[in-house]
A and B are shown apart, each in its own frame.
Chain A
């Protein structure tokens, strides 16, 4: 019996010993792996900061890839004409937006897919997908394929919102400005009201006049402007407001159109040659033929230092505007215009349905800065185990933006 008891005691004590050893190893390993994870997160945040600076402080290789249509060999977004955190408005335009949608336009075959970076009725920016820099290429150029994933966003620091509070007699617009979580109080606002005239004669084309002005926001960052000369509630117009205070600048816009079903869509066909197609909205995404053609009048304007708009000539001609008719359906050619230069500006297209008084105005920023479009590029951080973020304040042709990089480990990078 004594031998049996001793054997039992040995077994129990051995089991307890092994259990104690395993508990010790488990708890110790847990503490150690927590420390390793903490350190790898710290390393990731250093990498985020370095990577963001690398992207923002170099123009890429070649430096003019944003404007010449070439594929870069090195990824960078700095404006090649400047130093520090000054970002190229055109390089941003070439990024394959991760929040945009794809638009198909068959008439420009073989290249028929376009990236719609940002749009609302009244403003469009469609760029050819074949010329856009996509996420996987950017990962390769940065040397972080299979090791890291990222999302890069550029958001205007100043939000300028415009609402129509009264349609006519007078036209009342409320301009609301805000920074990141605070009102943009006592900011100077310079505005341009683009009033479109829709002619009754079929032989004439829509045109516009510009009315400039300046006001100041109140403590809440809000100001109202009235235009007594607008007496028709169907008046087609576009309104652009530049808010600026102590060197920080923001842009906002608003458009009012009466033809919202049929409109002209500008599509950047080739970045390098600056060719832009004018498409009938019914020709996009294989829609049916439109009930009517659209008369258009195209101009290109730049914002001067006093925030007034100045027209530049188009298509290497001395004329500052191009008029024509765009008809939807197979067999009907689409017009193409060539933008004047790589100067940031706005392409303004006034249009009118034939045999109708319905029309509108469309704006296309040439360079994202012109209408302060936001840009989102890269992968999706949602669902990633650990994401580190770093931000920089940058300017894009004078407009204040916040650049944010979100970075996460991918694949074999995790250690521990």
Chain B
């Protein structure tokens, strides 16, 4: 009889503790994955830009398949994420810095990365797109600019 209230209490306490720890783990795991994706996307954008920026290419369009997951799961449920491209504050006029921010849709979690590009780089400032709305990175070079964009839905 003495242990009965304690045993009843543990029915609630142990799952609550487990849920709280699992929640923290899921958040951390998803944040790390977001950071990894943002870094990888930033790197892909930079490499695509520098490929097109080479003096041997006068104009044209180049696309690269984006190898990042569409969903980030917390173990049970998958979440899309939103990508936002903005112009980062930059005192150096000879470069443009893109701030690539990823935020989960329907869950907590955000990551960002800075991408240093040349002065001729161009992208739509404050543009947003969902992770399931693109599969390609595209760079279009004209005489004066290299436009960077995402293309192709899944």
A positions within 8 Å CB-CB of B: 6, 9-10, 13-14, 17, 20-21, 24-25, 28-29, 32, 35-36, 39-40, 42-43, 46-47, 50-51, 53-54, 57-59, 61-63, 73-76, 78, 80, 83, 141-143, 415-416
Contacts and interface: CB of A to CB of B under 8 A. Distances in A.
Contacts of B147: none
A185 to B, nearest CB: 37
A80 B55 contact: yes
Contact of B116 (A9, A53, A61): A61
Contact of A24 (B6, B17, B46, B94): B17
B36 A74 contact: no
A301 to B, nearest CB: 29
B129 interface: no
A39 to B, nearest CB: 5
Given A21-B10, A143-B115, 16 more contacts: A6-B2, A13-B3, A20-B10, A25-B17, A32-B24, A36-B29, A43-B33, A43-B39, A47-B36, A61-B94, A73-B94, A74-B117, A74-B118, A83-B54, A143-B116, A415-B28
B63 interface: no
Interface residues of B, number: 43
Nearest to A58: B50
Nearest to B55: A80
21 contacts: A13-B3, A21-B14, A21-B17, A32-B22, A43-B36, A43-B39, A51-B43, A53-B47, A57-B47, A57-B51, A58-B47, A58-B50, A61-B94, A61-B119, A74-B116, A74-B117, A83-B56, A141-B116, A143-B97, A415-B32, A415-B35
B50 A43 contact: no
A164 B24 CA distance: 66
B111 to A, nearest CB: 10
A339 to B, nearest CB: 24
Interface string B4-33: 001001100110011001101100110111
Contacts of B50: 57-59, 76, 78
B2 A13 contact: yes
Given A61-B116, A143-B113, A53 B43 contact: yes
B130 interface: no
A337 B82 CA distance: 58
